[in-house]
Amino acid sequence: MVSTYAEKESRRFGYAVHRYDRIPAPKDILAARPDIAILRFPFENLTQLAKTFPSEIFFPIWADALVFYRHDLKLIPTPTNSFVIRPAKPTDDSALEALVRRCFKDYSDHYLANPFFPSAAILDGQVEWCSDLRQSGEPFWVAEEKGELLGFLACRRRGLALDVALNGVDPRVGNRGVYTNLLAYALNEAKKLSPSLSISTQLSNIKVQRVWQRQGFLLEETFATVHLNCFLSNATDLSPTQAEARARILAWFGK
């Protein structure tokens, strides 16, 4: 089975959201009955999308293009920060929430491409994700100056590999090298924990990619994210547009 029911996203947005790590077969969609199917698959498979899910039936939403970079931790930059970088602690939680809200207020991710996902709920999702990461016990560092959090960088382990899961810098202190230093610090710490450090973002997020490239990260993989708004769960409160989408898709399945 290629589908995962996304419990948190479903609760947050009020739809049955299922995630797919490849382009599924149509029968997998019919079996899982998602309201919204989020497909994330290697970019090179994009040519298969419209052949599998006809555009005039599914109206796929092109939601983002993701780029994955990896650092082999051989040549690591030295931090030159004048501010403090330290592990996050529980007493940082409320400052972290405020920081995430400032960092991601105007952030364009794949949820934003779907008109059925309200932007306030998307930002709440970033806050929840940050809180989960802080409590996970995985590496999580903050930059601090005069008692104020300037930025954060949170990781998660995948076996031996280490990934940066979420990171950001307060826009009020942008372009001062806070991120450059936070990442340089993380690279030095990562070397003690893992053979590599990976990180990803939207293709359009050029600012972070410039920092990564200067610090020796190499582009490794590219993924496409596509949403299919199907409304196939048993929800009874569908709008006319949603009911029309459901009927059209079920008719295509011969149902």
Query: Which CB sits closer to ligand COA, 30 or 169?
Result: 169
Minimal CB distance residue for ligand COA: 177
Query: Which CB sits closer to ligand COA, 3 or 225?
Result: 225
Binding letters toward ligand COA, positions 26-65, x by CB under 6 A: ----------------------------------------
Give min distance, CB of 181 to ligand COA, in A. 7
Q: Please pick, from the candidates 130, 162, 168, 246, the single residue that binds ligand COA as defined by CB under 6 A.
A: 168
| Torsion from C-alpha of 135, 141, 144, 149, nearest 10 degrees | -40
201 binds ligand COA (CB under 6 A): yes
Give min distance, CB of 173 to ligand COA, in A. 7
169 binds ligand COA (CB under 6 A): yes
CB 160 within 8 A of CB 174: no
167 binds ligand COA (CB under 6 A): yes
From residue 10, how far is each of 17, 24, 35, 121, 172 by CA, in Å? Answer: 5, 19, 9, 11, 33
Give min distance, CB of 169 to ligand COA, in A. 4
Give min distance, CB of 73 to ligand COA, in A. 19
Binding letters toward ligand COA, positions 102-121, x by CB under 6 A: -xx--x--------------
Which of positions 208-237 make contact with ligand COA (CB under 6 A)? 208, 210-211
Read off the tokens for 149.
């959090």
Query: Which CB sits closer to ligand COA, 123 or 224?
Result: 123
Give min distance, CB of 132 to ligand COA, in A. 17
Binding letters toward ligand COA, positions 174-193, x by CB under 6 A: xxxxxxx-------------
Only segment of 4-12, 24-32, 172-180, 226-234 that touches ligand COA (CB under 6 A): 172-180
**End-to-end CA separation in angstroms for the chain:** 22
Contact footprint for ligand COA (CB under 6 A): 103-104, 107, 167-169, 174-180, 201, 205, 207-208, 210-211
